[in-house]
């Protein structure tokens, strides 16, 4: 009689020990986001113990026919299946990152230009945000960049607690955002409540710090072309946009120069009101024959 009671006690302990180990392993993996030796060992041990328990129980054929046995078994299997599915989803999520942007304006989706630039990074680049608070929208944007390439990292820093680092960057106020790559540092912008971190500014700064060589764009002048300043009909916005993309813009008057400079990547003739002189036409043709670009 004592032997039978002892046998039932061991069966009971094995039943709950196996389940407990499996559940403990799944919870450990879910909480830590790491499916290493410990969670896997717990899960495998639990499954083996449950297997031994089932083998022992299977020797008693009447046990399987009990309604209570079938109900208990179904409940156990369902519980373990749910936990296993959750564990699998979490396991895949930590290794294959995916996020869908369901906003109407694709607010949290990077522009193709930004994605390509970050994916092509060959050296570590880090964004330093000197502020006491972390804005969720700014962090979401930075996280989108980081997901494109592990070479891109970011960190929030309280300039008061890490004064030496703030002094190294020359931080003057809260909210300043800097970009660092190697020994090069550049101010991206200053963020505040009304002016959040801009993808355009961050990508342009990244372009400048990664590719410091500036392309030169010359704008032909002297024939009533559109002015480069902010006057009516001027091209100040275009000039600013080119500057943000690391282009150097310079006015060019061919009556004062003998030809188009050799460092010109592009020559722009914007809406001239008068025709070019023969010498100017010859200078432009000579530039094109050298492989220059005309817009």
Residue 109 has pLDDT above 80, yes or no: no
CATH 3.40.30.10 fits 112-210, yes or no: yes
CA distance 184 to 88: 42
To the nearest whole number, what is the mean pLDDT of the chain?
Answer: 75
Domain layout of the chain by residue ranges: 2-95, 112-210, 215-289
Q: pLDDT tens digits, residue range 229-280?
A: 756 555 777 777 777 666 778 888 888 888 888 888 888 888 788 888 888 8
Report the chain's C-alpha Rg in angstroms: 33
Whether the predicted pLDDT of 126 surpasses 70? yes
Token readout for 221 is 């002048």
Q: Check whether 105 has a pLDDT greater than 50.
A: no
HSE of 67 in the Cβ direction (CA atoms, 13 Å)?
0
pLDDT tens digits, residue range 54-104? Answer: 666 655 555 555 555 555 555 555 555 555 545 544 554 444 444 444 444
**For residue 213, what pLDDT is reported?**
64
pTM of the model: 0.48
């Amino acid at each position: 009689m004592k032997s039978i009671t002892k046998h039932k006690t061991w069966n009971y302990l094995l039943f709950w020990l196996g389940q407990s180990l499996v559940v403990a392993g799944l919870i450990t993996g879910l909480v830590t986001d790491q499916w290493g030796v410990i969670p896997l060992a717990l899960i495998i041990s639990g499954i083996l113990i449950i297997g031994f328990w089932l083998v022992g129980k299977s020797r008693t054929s009447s046990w399987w026919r009990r309604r209570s046995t079938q109900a208990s078994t179904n409940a156990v299997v369902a519980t373990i299946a749910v936990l296993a599915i959750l564990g699998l989803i979490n396991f895949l999520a930590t290794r294959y990152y995916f996020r869908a942007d369901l906003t109407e304006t694709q607010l949290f989706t990077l522009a193709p230009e930004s994605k390509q630039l970050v994916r092509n990074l060959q050296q570590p680049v880090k964004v330093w945000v000197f502020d006491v608070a972390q804005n969720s929208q700014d962090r979401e944007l930075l996280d989108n960049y980081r997901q494109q390439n592990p070479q891109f990292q970011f960190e929030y820093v309280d300039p008061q607690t890490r004064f030496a680092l703030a002094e190294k960057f020359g931080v003057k106020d809260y909210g300043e955002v800097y970009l660092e790559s190697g020994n090069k540092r550049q101010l991206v912008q200053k963020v505040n409540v009304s002016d959040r971190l801009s993808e355009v500014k961050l990508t342009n700064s990244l372009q400048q710090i990664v590719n410091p060589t500036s392309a030169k764009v010359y704008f032909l002048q002297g024939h009533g072309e559109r002015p480069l300043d902010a006057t009516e009909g001027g091209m100040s916005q275009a000039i600013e946009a080119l500057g943000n993309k690391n282009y150097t813009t310079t006015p060019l008057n061919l009556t004062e120069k003998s030809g188009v400079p050799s460092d010109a990547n592009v020559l722009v003739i914007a809406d001239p009101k008068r025709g070019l002189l023969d010498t100017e036409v010859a200078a432009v043709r000579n530039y094109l024959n050298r492989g220059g670009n005309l817009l």
